[in-house]
Structure 1
Amino acid sequence: MQNSSISLVPNIEPLGRASDYAYEFAEATRCNALFGRFSLQECNIFSDYMKCFGVPRDTPILRQRRAGDFLIIVLTGCVDLIRTDTLGNQVARERIGPGGMAGEMSLVDGSDYESSCIAAEPTDFAVLTRQSLDAVVHEHPRVGNKFLSLLIQQLTHRLRAFTGSGDNMGMIGAHS
């Protein structure tokens, strides 16, 4: 996995390859109804393509309006997605717990992040870069395509949540 812009996150602690935490990865992603369709073997394969990191509370992991090439999957702790509106007001969009993802759209199209992602408490997370996603799709097409299907469902869920109601502060991950 390439380093990507994750190295620019302040106070980040590299924890090693996600495959070193395969059990924890599988447990966290089982909390997410979408990831629940992954077998333990598929979680192990997928975790080979990611690295894990830890950050203290209040650490910005993704920053709105900054280019990104990775998504995160929360393993422990939780993060808040916060968007700054055109008037400069910060609006909390949702809280993401274990198994939840953030940064999906930027992973897909390389555009700026739509929201900032800030650790609400000490948080460990796995990082999937675009390069790593390409590799898993090429080397393990079944697992890669299963993840792409999950990614589409997650993006659809978020789009519907953000366009469907004004009160979108919900918990994604443990409560999906």
Structure 2
Amino acid sequence: MKNVLGLFKRGGRSNGTPDGGDSLMFSTAFMEQGLDAGMLVPWDARAVEIGARRIGASQGGKLLRSLWSKDRFMSRLSPEAMERMERFFEYASVPPDRDVIRQDEYSNFMVVLLSGSVAVDRVQPWGEHVRLAEARPGDILGEMSLLDSGSRFSHCITLTECEIAVMDPQALDEMMTNDPGLAASLIGLLARKLSLRLRAVSARVTESGR
């Protein structure tokens, strides 16, 4: 989270770029980690690797709106704001038993599960495999790495065929440039959801290590 806060502080000037151009706050966050761009696993590469199949934006957007309208945090976005947000996502279908996210890798996309089930696992430093959760439709995965391009905390594998919505840092930067109010609302809501989830995961991991 310190990396994220640092990005916001630096991004306060000129939309995140020295010359006042389009925001590149999130698509260049990996540079803050001292990483070479070749170390990152972008969504386009992962999609090919796992055999993801693109689905229509109208179908995916409808699912996203329906799920988020029932979420106690994301439902704070107005219907009009949700409709504007749809275009910043890509939508895909993923077969079962595919690694959407891998623990400890560097990647920078966020996934919203639209249908199906995803296991969220972690291998502890002492070798124990822990099932942290089973994500259900509407759940968000990987938002921390979208914000700071840091390494992944857990491993996310599809248990069934899944439909997902994906946001990459280029799309988030585009939102910040073209619809900054919407971007601020999204980032604030993600931060609240992330904080609650980290507290729950921390408690579970601590308990399993006793």
* TM-score of the alignment, normalized to the shorter chain, above 0.5: yes
Runs of 4+ in structure 1 off by over 6 angstroms are: none
1:87 paired with 2:87, answer no
Q: Deviations over 1:79-134 (max 9, x none)?
A: 11111112333211112111110001111111121101111221100000011111
Aligned length: 166
Q: Which amino acid counterpart does residue 176 of structure 2 have in structure 1?
A: V
Structure 2 partner of 1:138: 177
Q: Separation in 1 of the partners of 2:180 and 2:202? A: 32
Q: Aligned-pair distance for 1:6?
A: 3.2
Structure 2 partner of 1:124: 163
1:29 paired with 2:68, answer yes
Q: Aligned pair in 2 of structure 1 residues 137, 149: CA closer, same or farther (>3 Å)?
A: same
Structure with greater strand share of residues: 1
Structure whose alpha-carbon radius of gyration is higher = 2
Q: Which amino acid counterpart does residue 71 of structure 1 have in structure 2?
A: M
What secondary structure does 1:45 align onto?
Answer: helix
What secondary structure does 2:50 align onto?
Answer: coil
Confirm or deny: 8 A CA contact 1:19 1:48 kept in the other structure.
Answer: no
| Structure 1 alignment gaps of length 5 or more | 169-176
Question: How does the TM-score come out when normalised to structure 2?
Answer: 0.72
Q: Aligned pair in 2 of structure 1 residues 57, 7: CA closer, same or farther (>3 Å)?
A: closer
Q: Percent identity?
A: 25
Q: Separation in 2 of the partners of 1:120 and 1:70? A: 20
What secondary structure does 1:86 align onto?
Answer: coil
Give RMSD over aligned pairs.
2.1
- 60, 63, 84: which one aligns with 2:99: 60
1:10 paired with 2:50, answer yes
Structure 2 partner of 1:156: 195
Confirm or deny: 8 A CA contact 2:92 2:165 kept in the other structure.
Answer: yes
